[in-house]
Structures are given as structure tokens and as C-alpha cells.
């Protein structure tokens, strides 16, 4: 178990405080029959969902930070001239591989746009470039690999995998890895038609796949579920942090955490969201207290 300091917790509390604010807002809205609208409910629900995802991600990062850092590898420190171009590239590739593994990962299940000749999942607002396709063992359909178009120009590490569901070929499992650090290509997701809304899944789900085995075995489901209001009502402004998806905009925040906040923001309109954050035990500073408002 690791000791967590107040400084890290402050950031987490800020996120939770916003979540609490959204709950109160939602509650107030529910009791106001004159101005009630499902649109606002969905908006607040999305904000809440984002807040949960962000908070969990921050906790995970705090946990990781608490662990002893691995010793620096000599290869990365050594001058490039001492190694061949090939070995340098291999080293670079290994580093990238390690880095990607530590990136936050979450997945969605999206229904294909019916009616079109090529039934493809809805555009998520980002610009993606396909870089690979693989036949997956035991899966009927191949898995497609996409990375951000601005990977080279802006060093954006975001990737996603799309795989058609075996059971329902009109469903696509989309796994995202890493948040966008580019400012390009983010636009309002395509609005859904009424028909598509009807076919949406009936609830939001947040799955913590990397929970410890004990937690997995517990009686409670590993999912958080949120009742779903028709998605057509969703507005783009439904981000828990109202600024853009660019982590640079989260001034003062740790870059990794800012990335996660962006990642969670970009998933606020997901039909089904699974977030891969392992959370273990923490010991809070004795001085620390939860004071919402």
C-alpha cells in the first residue's frame, strides 16, 4: 500500500467536487417541472460519467506514481552515434511499446450506421488513419487498427481498434488507447437519427477491467450503470471540463492527468463505455478531508 499526499489528492478532489456539483444540478433540475427537459438530464448524466472516469484514472496514476520508478536504461541515454540506425529504431520501438502499454484504455460498443452500403461505426470526431488489420483468433471478423492522423506532425499517440462483434455483426467493439494530444480533427460527433437512438444500448456502463481478483469475485457487478436518456439530446458542451480536448489547456495539471481528462471528455457521448483502470488500496493522509462546498 502506498501513501498518497494531499497535493495529488487536491486534484482528485477538484474532479469529485465537480461531479458533486453535477449531481446537485441534476437533482435540482429533476424537481423543477417547469424547466425540466430530458436534454439537460442527459447532459448532466454525461458530465457525471466523465467525472467518474476522470477520477478513477487520476487515482490509478497516483497509485503508479507511488511505486518505485525503474532504473534508467543506459541505451536511451547513450549517444545515438554509438549504436546503429537499426538498433536505435528497435530501441525507440521498445520505448514506444512500453509507453503505449501505460496509456489509459477504454472501449465502446457502437452500432453501425444502418442503410449505408458499408456499415461503419459512427465518426467519433477525430481524424484516424488505418495502419493495420489482423485476423484475430476465435473472431469471425478481422480487427482494424487506427492511429491519429496527426501522429507524426503533433506526436499524438492516440490509437483505436475496431472489431465487428461476432454475435451481432451490426455492432462494433471500439477500443481506444491514449488521449489525443493534437488539437486537430476534433469536431462535434455526427448526430444520430431517431432510428439509431432506438437501437442504442439501454444503459451506460463503465467497466473497471483491471480490478484486483478479489474485487472481480465480489458479488457486486464490476460495472457502474447509468440510465440512458435519448442521445439525440446530447450537446457538445457536455464535457465535465468545459475547455477543449487539448491537454495543454489544463494549466497546472500534470500532463498525464490532463491527457486522461481529455480522454474522458472525448467519450462523454459513448453508448457503452468500459474503462481499463486498475485500482488498488490507498492510505490517505490523516490531514486530508473531503469537503464538498
Partner DNA sequence: TTCATTTGACCGAC
Partner DNA sequence: GTCGGTCAAATGAA
- Judged by the rule CB under 7 A, the positions of this chain that interact with DNA are 89-90, 93-94, 96-98, 100, 128-138, 143, 145, 147, 149, 159, 161, 177
The strand ranges marked E within the chain are 2-4, 105-111, 128-134, 143-148, 159-164, 171-177, 203-207, 223-227, 273-276, 282-284
Compute CA distances 189 → 124, 195, 218, 231, 272, whole Å. Answer: 6, 17, 37, 11, 15
Instruction: Name the residue nearer to DNA (CB basis): 65 or 143.
Output: 143
Helix orientation angle between 38-66 and 255-265, rounded to the nearest 10 degrees = 150
Instruction: Name the residue nearer to DNA (CB basis): 19 or 104.
Output: 104
Minimum distance between the CB of residue 192 and DNA, rounded to whole angstroms?
22
User: What is the rounded CA–CA span in Å between residue 99 and residue 116?
Assistant: 37
User: b/e string for 20-36 if b means 16 or more Cβ within 10 A?
Assistant: bbbeeebeeeeeeeeee
Minimum distance between the CB of residue 185 and DNA, rounded to whole angstroms?
10
User: What is the rounded CA–CA span in Å between residue 43 and residue 172?
Assistant: 24
Instruction: Name the residue nearer to DNA (CB basis): 166 or 237.
Output: 166
Instruction: Name the residue nearer to DNA (CB basis): 50 or 163.
Output: 163
User: What is the rounded CA–CA span in Å between residue 282 and residue 66?
Assistant: 10
Minimum distance between the CB of residue 175 and DNA, rounded to whole angstroms?
7
Instruction: Name the residue nearer to DNA (CB basis): 37 or 153.
Output: 153
Minimum distance between the CB of residue 197 and DNA, rounded to whole angstroms?
27
Instruction: Name the residue nearer to DNA (CB basis): 145 or 250.
Output: 145
Minimum distance between the CB of residue 99 and DNA, rounded to whole angstroms?
10
User: What is the rounded CA–CA span in Å between residue 164 and residue 162?
Assistant: 7
Minimum distance between the CB of residue 184 and DNA, rounded to whole angstroms?
11
Amino acid at each position: 500500500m502506498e501513501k498518497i499526499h494531499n497535493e495529488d489528492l487536491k486534484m482528485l478532489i477538484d474532479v469529485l467536487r465537480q461531479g458533486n456539483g453535477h449531481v446537485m444540478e441534476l437533482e435540482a433540475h429533476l424537481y423543477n417541472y417547469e424547466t425540466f427537459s430530458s436534454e439537460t438530464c442527459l447532459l448532466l448524466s454525461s458530465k457525471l460519467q466523465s467525472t467518474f472516469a476522470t477520477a478513477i484514472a487520476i487515482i490509478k496514476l497516483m497509485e503508479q506514481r507511488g511505486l518505485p520508478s525503474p532504473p534508467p536504461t543506459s541505451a536511451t541515454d547513450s549517444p545515438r552515434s554509438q549504436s546503429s540506425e537499426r538498433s536505435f529504431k528497435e530501441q525507440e520501438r521498445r520505448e514506444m511499446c512500453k509507453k503505449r502499454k501505460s496509456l489509459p484504455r477504454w472501449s465502446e460498443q457502437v452500432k453501425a450506421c444502418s442503410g449505408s452500403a458499408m456499415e461503419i461505426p459512427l465518426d467519433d470526431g477525430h481524424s484516424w488513419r488505418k495502419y493495420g488489420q489482423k485476423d484475430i483468433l476465435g473472431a469471425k471478423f478481422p480487427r482494424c487498427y487506427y492511429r491519429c492522423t496527426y501522429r507524426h506532425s503533433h506526436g499524438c499517440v492516440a490509437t483505436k481498434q475496431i472489431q465487428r462483434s461476432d454475435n451481432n455483426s451490426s455492432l462494433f467493439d471500439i477500443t481506444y488507447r491514449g488521449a489525443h494530444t493534437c488539437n486537430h480533427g476534433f469536431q462535434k460527433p455526427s448526430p444520430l437519427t431517431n432510428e439509431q437512438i432506438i437501437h442504442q444500448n439501454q444503459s451506460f456502463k463503465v467497466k473497471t477491467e483491471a480490478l484486483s481478483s478479489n474485487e472481480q469475485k465480489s458479488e457486486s457487478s464490476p460495472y457502474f450503470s447509468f440510465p440512458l436518456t435519448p442521445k439525440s439530446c446530447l450537446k457538445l458542451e457536455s464535457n465535465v471540463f468545459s475547455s477543449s480536448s487539448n491537454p495543454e489547456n489544463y494549466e497546472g495539471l500534470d500532463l498525464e492527468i490532463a491527457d486522461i481528462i481529455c480522454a474522458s471528455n472525448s467519450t462523454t457521448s459513448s453508448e457503452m463505455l468500459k474503462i481499463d483502470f486498475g485500482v488498488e488500496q490507498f492510505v490517505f493522509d490523516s490531514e486530508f478531508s473531503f469537503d464538498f462546498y
